[in-house]
Amino acid sequence: MKSFDWKKILPFLVAFVVFIGIALLYCSPMLHGKVLAAGDVSNWLGSANEARTYHQQTGETTWWTNSQFSGMPTFQITGSLPSGEMRSTLENFTRLGFSEGTAAIGLIFAYFCGFFLMLLCFGISPWLSLVGALAIGLSSYFFLIIPAGHMTKAAALSMLGPVIGGFYAIMRRRYWLGVPLMLVYGFIGITLHPQMTYYMAMLIGVMACAELYIHIREKRFKDLGIGIGILVVCGVLLFATKYSWWDMNNSYLKETMRGGHSELTANDTTSTSQVGLDLKYATDWSYGKAETMTLLIPNWEGGASGYNVGKDSQLCRAMRKQGVAKRDAEQFCKQVPTYHGEKAFTSGPVYVGAIVCFLFILALLIVPGPYKWALLFATIMSILLAWGKNFMWLTELFFNYFPMYNKFRAVESILVVAEITMPLLAFMGLQRIASGEVEWKKLRISLLIASGITMALCLYAALFAGGFDMTSTYDEQWTTKVPDWLRRAIMDERVAMVKADAWRSLLFVALGFVLTYWFAWKNQITNHKSQIQYYMLVWQH
């Protein structure tokens, strides 16, 4: 009888410990009784209070509340269907039981686990998948939505990664892996946040085109038919378990502004949408074209609307020189209007990571096949659609002709697709390097090109940020209330933030280049498998 090989499960055990460790460390204040002041959660508690109190007093669920407007159904606020109770149980299991005041811990852990499973499905080694899960899960947007109170959005994102991986596994004939992932995680996440589900469905649609091309090119018609058949069955089962929710939601939708029938909306005859949201309202939160640079340099547009620049900042020193009391200067610097983009306000930028951007470009040069182009296409479309009103012809095209697209607002949210596709392709490239599938000369040139592009962008920002336009149309809200010297000091702080972040991103890219080059060189010489594990541990730290 062969002895059990612990080395095979070691990366999975390490992944579990690392994931829960980071979640606990990041959210450590919660372990001491502190609670996030999540705005949307507070609003929900207010709207759901009447129905929740009724349930606590009677043990029954009410499907109507008088607390909203002149009365409305509660299934969009609270109340639970039979399938919802099972879904909640499974969802709590994926979060290790963390809920209520410690929900953020469970959400972050679920992020990491979900993306870990997704990367494994794409054939990426467990050690690489561990680091890749951190690279995706630590993307800034996934964290910003938690204190904002967008808990269902965060929960949906943590559940939908394995669904994407499950699709890929099924098309690779690993039905034993793909089917359970699609059914279990799909059952949990498909109705948590319809907008996120819709975006992930769009990504799977792009991947399906790649699969169709691959199977037709390789004349694997039988595998294609089986894969499609299994996916259809999975889709029918998921729809059946959620039919009551879909049916209620559809009937409710018709009586809202998203269904084109609401007495609470203005009679705007200029709207281009007949059965959806008003186009202007839907695109109020659009990502700026230049703002896309935050994927590489997070504070390119100044971070959040009220940004804590710190007591050691250039702005704080400038205020002290003008005679402002130390306490007053430090208090002011906790909420500085540093954001100079074109949104009314924002909680922060979408940042995927400087090293991820470098590895993404590298993967474009060394990963062959249709999937590279599919993921690149999905990334580009995610960015273009996130521009919203800043790229109106494409936005209007989707808004008017793409099914259901006009039901969603805050179009910048679609950047979640890029936050998944960019690191996914990046780690597909690292897997090829680890497997020795890239010819050394080509790899060396590709490393130089990828690092050269990303470092050049960072260097340009670091050297010439002073010449950039650091103003916003929303600056008028505060510039008339402060003296001119303070206005100039805030503008200088905006420049300093861009420069500091650009230099930092430049350093990260340089570090990523050195480590990747060293690993690739060692792998070419020794081709020793233990080098992969060692490299992953280096990347982790």
pLDDT higher than 70, residue 292: yes
| 186-200, 387-401, 417-431: least confidently modelled range | 186-200
Round the average pLDDT of the chain to a whole number and report it.
88
pTM over 0.85: yes
Q: For the chain, give every domain's residue range.
A: 17-43+91-242, 274-541
**Is residue 294 within 8 Å of 349, Cβ to Cβ?**
yes
H helices present in 440-529, as ranges? 440-464, 476-479, 484-526
pLDDT higher than 60, residue 457: yes
Angle, helices 484-526 vs 415-434, to 10°: value is: 30
**Is residue 450 within 8 Å of 488, Cβ to Cβ?**
no
- The pLDDT-based confidence of 277 (bands split at 50, 70, 90) is confident
* Type of residue at 261: H
pLDDT digits (tens, 9 = 90+) for 90-142: 778 788 888 777 888 999 999 999 999 999 999 999 999 999 999 999 999 99
pLDDT digits (tens, 9 = 90+) for 211-256: 999 999 999 999 999 999 999 999 999 988 887 777 777 777 777 7
Winning range, highest mean pLDDT, from 28-32, 194-198, 398-402, 420-424: 420-424
- The pLDDT-based confidence of 459 (bands split at 50, 70, 90) is very high
- The pLDDT-based confidence of 269 (bands split at 50, 70, 90) is very low
Per-residue pLDDT at 274: 55
Return d(Cα 290, Cα 466) in angstroms, integer.
16
Q: What angle do CA 138, 139, 141 make, to 5 degrees?
A: 120
Per the model's pLDDT, the better-predicted residue between 539 and 404 turns out to be 404
* pLDDT cut 90: percent of the chain above it: 59
* Residue 403 CB contacts under 8 Å (≥ 6 apart), including other chains: none
Return d(Cα 424, Cα 43) in angstroms, integer.
35
pLDDT digits (tens, 9 = 90+) for 144-202: 998 888 888 999 999 989 999 999 999 999 999 999 999 999 988 888 888 999 999 99
**Is residue 450 within 8 Å of 362, Cβ to Cβ?**
yes
**Is residue 414 within 8 Å of 385, Cβ to Cβ?**
yes
Q: How many CA atoms lie within 13 A of 528 on its CB side?
A: 7
Return d(Cα 352, Cα 134) in angstroms, integer.
11
pLDDT higher than 60, residue 529: no
Per-residue pLDDT at 221: 95
| 339-360 average pLDDT score | 93
Return d(Cα 287, Cα 284) in angstroms, integer.
9
- The pLDDT-based confidence of 266 (bands split at 50, 70, 90) is low
Q: How many CB atoms lie within 10 A of CB 25?
A: 11
